[in-house]
Amino acid sequence: MDWSERANCREADPDLFFPIGDRGPTLVQIERAKAVCHDCPVLERCLDWALRSGPLEGIWGGTTEGERRALMRRPAPGTDAAAA
Protein backbone atom coordinates (compact mmCIF):
# COMPACT_ATOMS: atom_id res chain seq x y z
CA MET A 1 0.00 0.00 0.00
CA ASP A 2 1.27 3.43 -0.94
CA TRP A 3 1.70 5.81 2.01
CA SER A 4 -0.60 8.38 0.39
CA GLU A 5 -3.51 5.94 0.57
CA ARG A 6 -3.42 6.30 4.38
CA ALA A 7 -3.35 10.11 4.38
CA ASN A 8 -6.08 12.07 6.16
CA CYS A 9 -6.41 14.38 3.15
CA ARG A 10 -7.86 11.59 1.00
CA GLU A 11 -11.19 12.22 2.74
CA ALA A 12 -11.04 16.04 2.42
CA ASP A 13 -11.83 18.46 -0.38
CA PRO A 14 -8.62 18.71 -2.46
CA ASP A 15 -9.19 22.44 -3.02
CA LEU A 16 -8.62 22.97 0.70
CA PHE A 17 -4.93 22.15 0.23
CA PHE A 18 -4.35 24.60 -2.61
CA PRO A 19 -5.10 28.07 -1.23
CA ILE A 20 -4.78 31.07 -3.49
CA GLY A 21 -2.43 33.49 -1.73
CA ASP A 22 -1.28 33.73 1.86
CA ARG A 23 -3.17 36.68 3.32
CA GLY A 24 -6.59 37.56 4.70
CA PRO A 25 -9.28 34.85 4.49
CA THR A 26 -6.82 32.49 2.85
CA LEU A 27 -5.06 32.16 6.21
CA VAL A 28 -8.17 30.45 7.57
CA GLN A 29 -8.07 27.97 4.70
CA ILE A 30 -4.39 27.28 5.33
CA GLU A 31 -5.05 26.64 9.02
CA ARG A 32 -7.95 24.29 8.15
CA ALA A 33 -5.70 22.32 5.80
CA LYS A 34 -2.95 22.11 8.40
CA ALA A 35 -5.51 20.87 10.95
CA VAL A 36 -6.26 17.91 8.65
CA CYS A 37 -2.53 17.21 8.47
CA HIS A 38 -1.97 17.62 12.22
CA ASP A 39 -2.76 14.05 13.25
CA CYS A 40 -2.20 12.37 9.89
CA PRO A 41 -0.50 8.98 10.19
CA VAL A 42 1.75 9.73 7.20
CA LEU A 43 2.57 13.39 7.95
CA GLU A 44 6.34 12.86 8.07
CA ARG A 45 6.40 10.79 4.88
CA CYS A 46 4.31 13.42 3.09
CA LEU A 47 6.62 16.23 4.19
CA ASP A 48 9.69 14.23 3.21
CA TRP A 49 8.20 13.55 -0.22
CA ALA A 50 7.34 17.24 -0.68
CA LEU A 51 10.86 18.33 0.29
CA ARG A 52 12.48 15.84 -2.09
CA SER A 53 10.10 16.64 -4.95
CA GLY A 54 11.17 20.26 -5.20
CA PRO A 55 8.85 23.23 -5.48
CA LEU A 56 5.25 22.14 -5.01
CA GLU A 57 2.18 24.29 -4.70
CA GLY A 58 -0.17 23.83 -1.79
CA ILE A 59 -0.08 22.31 1.65
CA TRP A 60 2.00 19.13 1.93
CA GLY A 61 3.11 17.50 5.16
CA GLY A 62 1.38 20.22 7.15
CA THR A 63 3.51 22.97 5.59
CA THR A 64 3.06 25.77 3.09
CA GLU A 65 5.35 26.39 0.13
CA GLY A 66 7.17 29.12 2.06
CA GLU A 67 7.62 26.94 5.13
CA ARG A 68 9.12 24.17 2.99
CA ARG A 69 11.51 26.63 1.32
CA ALA A 70 12.67 27.71 4.79
CA LEU A 71 13.17 24.07 5.85
CA MET A 72 15.26 23.39 2.77
CA ARG A 73 17.56 26.34 3.60
CA ARG A 74 18.31 25.05 7.09
CA PRO A 75 21.49 23.05 7.65
CA ALA A 76 20.95 19.33 8.07
CA PRO A 77 20.86 18.09 11.69
CA GLY A 78 24.30 17.24 12.97
CA THR A 79 26.11 19.60 10.60
CA ASP A 80 28.14 22.52 11.81
CA ALA A 81 26.53 25.55 10.14
CA ALA A 82 29.31 27.81 11.46
CA ALA A 83 31.93 25.79 9.57
CA ALA A 84 30.17 26.30 6.24
Known binding positions for [4Fe-4S] cluster = 9, 37, 40, 46
Instruction: Please choose, from the candidates 17, 80, 83, the residue with its C-alpha nearest in 3D space to the C-alpha of residue 46.
Output: 17
d(CA 53, CA 38): 21
Known binding residues are 9, 37, 40, 46
